[in-house]
Amino acid sequence: MAGRRVFGGINCEGGMLLARRFGVWKERRDGTCFVQKCGLPTNLLPNRSHGFYQSSGKRNTWKSKGSNIVTFAGAGAMGLLGMAGSAYADEAEHGLAAPSYPWANDGWFASYDHAAIRRGHQVYKEVCAACHAMSLIAYRDLIGVAYTELEVKALAAEIEVEDGPNDDGEMFGRPGKPADHLQPPYANEQAARSANGGAYPPDLSLICKARHNGPNYVFALLTGYRDAPAGISVRQGLYYNPYFPGGAIAMPRVINDGGVEFEDGTPATSSQMAKDVTHYLAWAAEPEHDERKLIGAKWICGALLCLYAMGYYKRWKWGPLKSRRIIWDVVN
């Protein structure tokens, strides 16, 4: 190591190599040039500008800054293009993001719109039940929510349920009862696929929980049918819907103006029907919603009362002790 000067654990030859590699010859640290600390003449080292070395003269500062600006702008543009491409790919794979709508049950103390649940059940019964099942919902679940007990019994009696076996070991049909579940339109999955061109209509009992963004997605899907834009081809038997993953769905548009006639006189527009059936499906996925919020509100009120009682007791118990004055009589 004789004859070599060392600075900061790096000899001057290594420092010159690092300086030539990274272009930090004349960067000042603590007010002193790195090369000068090594005891080398600064005029022997080249300057770097625009990625090449100059043997003498000052650094071309404005060119270097312009090069950096162009580099950063290009990197930013490539990043934006990459983000746009990934967003387009995500949209094509997962579908267009559904907007957020102001549902009646949004909020800490908000509850379901039970009139909308009743209309939504009517839409499901007259439109959706032809293909989709709701096997987790029983007729009695609708009592006190959308119908009275007598109305539910009348609804259940409209269907015929296969029951048995009887004393002879044979199955038989009987009128439905409130304890029966909503009947599926097909006997099994194979029959459902055969009737729908290979597509399987999903069970709608938990559809608002099984899909991201739940009710917003369902409503956007029901109202999102439109003609395919230029450049996008949809094969025969499918329908373009940007909110469905892939953009092509086997279910045609079934929610149309005047599709049902509501008992309460509400205009049966396509958006109204889609809103009501979505509200009904949201209730089906979470029927305990209103009761849970009511219990939570009671607990919050009880906790506030307990907190107030604890604060009052603390002031009553410790107030005299903390405000008293103690005098020590050291003379007597």
Assign 285 to helix, strand or coil: helix
Instruction: Write the CATH number for 106.
Output: 1.10.760.10
Query: Of the segments 14-23, 88-97, 163-172, 255-264, which one has the largest average pLDDT value?
Result: 255-264
d(Cα 204, Cα 183) in Å, to the nearest integer? Answer: 12
* Cis? peptide before 102, omega within 30° of 0: no
Where is the binding site, in residues?
A: 128, 131-132, 251
Alpha helices, H only, the chain: 12-22, 34-37, 61-94, 114-126, 149-157, 189-195, 207-210, 214-223, 270-285, 289-323
Query: Residue 293 pairs with which residues in a beta bridge?
Result: none
What are the tens digits of pLDDT across the range 203-231?
Answer: 999 999 999 999 999 999 999 999 999 98
pTM higher than 0.85: no
pLDDT band of residue 2 (cuts 50, 70, 90) is: very low
Residues 40 and 109 in one domain: no
Quote the pLDDT of residue 279: 98
CB 94 within 8 A of CB 242: no
Which amino acid is residue 273, in one-letter code? Answer: M
Which amino acids are annotated as binding site for heme c, given as ranges? 128, 131-132, 251
Q: Which domain holds residue 24?
A: 6-59
Task: Count how many Cα atoms sit within 13 Å of the Cα of residue 98 in the half-sphere of its side chain.
Answer: 22
218 and 297 both lie in a single domain:
yes
Q: What letter would DSSP give residue 97?
A: P
CA distance 132 to 319: 67
How many domains does the chain contain in total? 2
Looking at the domain assignment, is residue 88 inside a domain? no
Per-residue pLDDT band at 28 (split at 50, 70, 90)? very low
